[in-house]
Homo-oligomer: A and B are copies of this chain.
Amino acid sequence: MSDFSIGVDLGGTNLRIAAVTVDGKLIEKVTLGTQVSLGRDHVLNEMCGAIRQLSEKYKGSGKMHGVGIGVPGIIHMATGRIYESPNLPGWADSPVRDEIEQRLGARVFLENDANAAALGEKWLGAGRDVPHLAMITLGTGVGGGLVLDGAVWHGMNGMAGELGHITVDPNGPLCGCGNYGCVEAISSATAIVRAAREAIAAGRAPGLERAAKSDPEFSSKSIYQLAIQGDEEAKRIYQRVGWALGILIAGLVNALNLNMYVIGGGVVSAWDAFSPSIFTELRERSLVYAATDPNPLPAGTAKGTSARVDRRTTEKTIVTRALLGSDAGLFGAARIPLVAAGA
């Protein structure tokens, strides 16, 4: 017998719904095709139906504390409306939270999907033992979430954590948001493929060109395969992914001095190819990282800020891979009603 909540991950291609106990055990997970194209009402019907089924099925085992829904968009926290969601056309500006609450007769919490993933990694993943972390999710776009003192940091109105749209290269590539040089424009799966196609078009990437011609699903994963086989252009692209992430994280370390920076999302499978560049940038660009570096370079070999630091604190800044994979957001969403209920 264990109390539980329902977590929902409302993705662009999948709708996943899980019952999760107060101590973080997955009871059951349901995956539906969302068919976003069939519209908001259709998706809400499917979602509420599945939530009701799970609630009914397990109501004998404990109290259901509410529903948390991770949404790919910016949430306006006070009103429970979706402010901006390119992947959910027609959802913005309608009172989604209140509508679902009325349908279900249960407490409902909306959360940005990357914030939910950050909370999931804090609760059950890489960040279990630390109070403060930032999560960066490398997928089609680059999402972000901050957890401070164990809770999602929402800022003034719920728009905090847009880490993917922080400028790291003021004259860098154009981003979908309209800005130049966002992390997302360099380190997302989309940006990786675009960089490869540009290198092919410029005639400087014969290996990538062969792969793109032979592979109908030419993707960031294909480019990673070439990188680990030694293709220079593929390696260079992933180094630039790490360079951008390193500048981003160096800024976060200097500003926030968190315990941990967790990197998740599909692109993280290429960790070997991009992570060395992250640490190079951190050591050159963050005095705070240099002072809290868990693996400092030997004296005389360090550059940048690391060369200036001769004392280190006992507290260490950890930059690491996410542990929960695509379930992080589901667990994080389920966590929100449990915390609200004090369960």
A-side residues, CB < 8 A to B, are 74, 76, 83-84, 92-93, 132, 144, 146, 148, 153-163, 165-170, 177-180, 243, 247, 250-252, 254-259, 284-288, 291-292, 303-308, 311, 313, 315, 317
Contact = CB atoms under 8 A, between A and B. Distances in A.
A97 to B, nearest CB: 16
Contacts of A258: 155-156
Contact of A313 (B153, B157, B170): B157
Contacts of A254: 162-163, 165-166
A313 B308 CA distance: 44
Contacts of A257: 154-162
A159 B292 contact: yes
A308 B158 contact: no
B160 A256 contact: yes
Given A161-B257, A180-B284, A252-B255, 9 more contacts: A156-B259, A157-B257, A157-B313, A159-B313, A160-B288, A162-B288, A166-B255, A178-B304, A178-B307
Contacts of A154: 257
Closest 10 interchain pairs by CB? A155-B257, A160-B257, A162-B254, A166-B251, A157-B315, A159-B257, A159-B288, A178-B304, A178-B305, A179-B285
A310 to B, nearest CB: 10
Number of copies: 2
A152 B169 CA distance: 29
Contacts of A304: 178-180
A287 B176 CA distance: 11
A255 B144 contact: yes
Given A178-B303, A305-B178, A285 B167 contact: yes
Contacts of A305: 165, 177-179
Given A144-B255, A251-B167, A255-B255, A156 B177 contact: no
A288 to B, nearest CB: 5
A292 B155 CA distance: 12
Contacts of A146: 255-256
Nearest to A157: B315
Given A132-B155, A132-B156, A257-B155, A83 B311 contact: yes
Contacts of A284: 178-180
B252 A162 contact: no
26 contacts: A74-B291, A76-B313, A83-B311, A132-B155, A148-B148, A154-B257, A156-B257, A156-B258, A156-B315, A157-B292, A159-B257, A159-B291, A160-B255, A162-B287, A165-B285, A165-B288, A165-B305, A166-B251, A167-B168, A167-B247, A167-B251, A178-B287, A178-B304, A178-B307, A178-B308, A251-B251
